[in-house]
Amino acid sequence: MRGVAPIKYMAKSTDVDGGKDFIVVTGAAGFIGSCLVGFLNQQGYTNLILVDEFDRLDKVPNLEGKIFSAAVERDVFFDWLEENRPVIRAFYHIGARTDTTEFDYSVHERLNVVYSKRVWEYCAKHGIPLVYASSAATYGAGEKGYDDRHDVIGELKPLNAYGISKNEFDKWAVQQAMQPPFWAGLKFFNVYGPNEYHKARMASVIFHSYNQIRKDGVVKLFKSHRPDFKDGQQLRDFVYVKDVIKVCVWLMQHRPVSGLYNLGTGQARSFEDLVRATYAGLDMGPNIQYIDMPEDIRDKYQYFTEANMGKLRAAGYVEPFYSLEEGVGDYVRNYLSKGAFL
């Protein structure tokens, strides 16, 4: 099957050849998931089973030109597995409810905890290696630092329902006696890059900055509401999606010690740095205005994140990460300015 199948579809059993080994990607029509599908295609993998909700027209372009074997609606996926029984060599569970402004925990619990447990149990039962998306939102305000050690996750205090749900699954996973033959929970920090056009309010600051520059020539950033941070100097670990997907595939191929792994660059940068890099990608000088942060997120806002990347490096990952200037420059020049997808 090449390209995007009709909306609201479920692959038929004839799409899955029982003589092949398949790779599953959940969240496959979303930001990181669709980039992962494209990267897997580039690596020669086309025997992919994609899982998502395929009724959103704004996600359709993310999968255009991608090659895969089957696409299955998320809510019927496990029934489909029982009916078709494909041989799965690897499982990337990227799908999640990621809206940090959704305060109803039950929404996050259903998708990020309950559904993830079903994925884990299926992989453990069938001996399938699993890489899944956790989040740096589990670290909360960083009172316990940003170390991906298992002995601290019970003490973490996430600031929102999304972070709580991700941490609850991490805590559950590390306690399981029955595990996949290899597993890695990746604590994504601030991921940015192509294929996030559909994310609206939850898209990266680069995406919003680019559109503000094109529209008004000025970027609006949140003021700091803490005396120890100046306006625009709130710090985050921004990581380019091209690095994220490379790590996902590397882990599955090399299978080091199972566990939780941070996935950032290891270097916190300011939002002002990020906006300056966005302007530079457009060959323009910066013009920044500061506005009050919405009250509904003011008490749940992370002012500093920085991944300790020692664990992944010790596992053997030696590839360099894009710098903020390199990543933002590539994103702006080669994707946002062209309306292009990865």
**CA 110 – CA 97 distance, rounded (Å):** 9
Residue 35, CB-side half-sphere exposure with 13 Å CA sphere:
24
Fold type of domain 13-193+238-267+303-322:
Rossmann fold (3.40.50)
| Phi then psi dihedrals of residue 326, to 5 deg | -65, -50
pLDDT given for residue 260 in this prediction: 98
The pLDDT, as a whole number, for residue 105 is 79
Looking at residue 110, its pLDDT comes to 86
Report the predicted TM-score, pTM, of the whole model to 2 decimal places. Answer: 0.92
Which residue of the set 144, 199, 220, 242 is catalytic?
199
The alpha helices in the chain, defined as continuous H runs, are 31-42, 77-84, 105-108, 115-126, 161-174, 205-216, 241-254, 271-281, 295-298, 310-314, 324-334
Determine which one of 115, 139, 146, 162 is catalytic. 162
Catalytic residue status for 162: yes
Residue 1: pLDDT over 60: no
Instruction: For residue range 181-200, list pLDDT tens digits in order.
Output: 999 999 999 999 999 999 98
> What length is written for the chain?
342
pLDDT at 305 over 70: yes
The pLDDT, as a whole number, for residue 139 is 97
**How large is the average pLDDT for residues 31-54?**
96
Q: pLDDT digit string (tens) for 117-174? A: 999 999 999 999 999 999 999 999 999 999 999 999 999 999 999 999 999 999 999 9
pLDDT the model gives residue 195: 98
The predicted pLDDT at position 101 comes to 63
The predicted pLDDT at position 13 comes to 34
Q: Is the pLDDT of residue 282 over 50?
A: yes
Question: Which DSSP string corresponds to 6-51?
Answer: PSS----GGGS-TTSEEEEEETTTSHHHHHHHHHHHHTT---EEEE
Would the pLDDT of 19 be above 80?
no
- Is it the case that residue 77 has pLDDT exceeding 60? yes
Q: What is the pLDDT of residue 98?
A: 67
Q: What is the mean pLDDT of residues 213-235?
A: 95
Tokens describing residue 195: 């294929």
pLDDT attached to residue 299 = 81
Q: pLDDT tens for residues 80-116?
A: 999 999 999 999 999 987 666 666 777 888 899 999 9
Q: Is 300 a catalytic residue?
A: no
- Residue 38, pLDDT > 50, answer yes
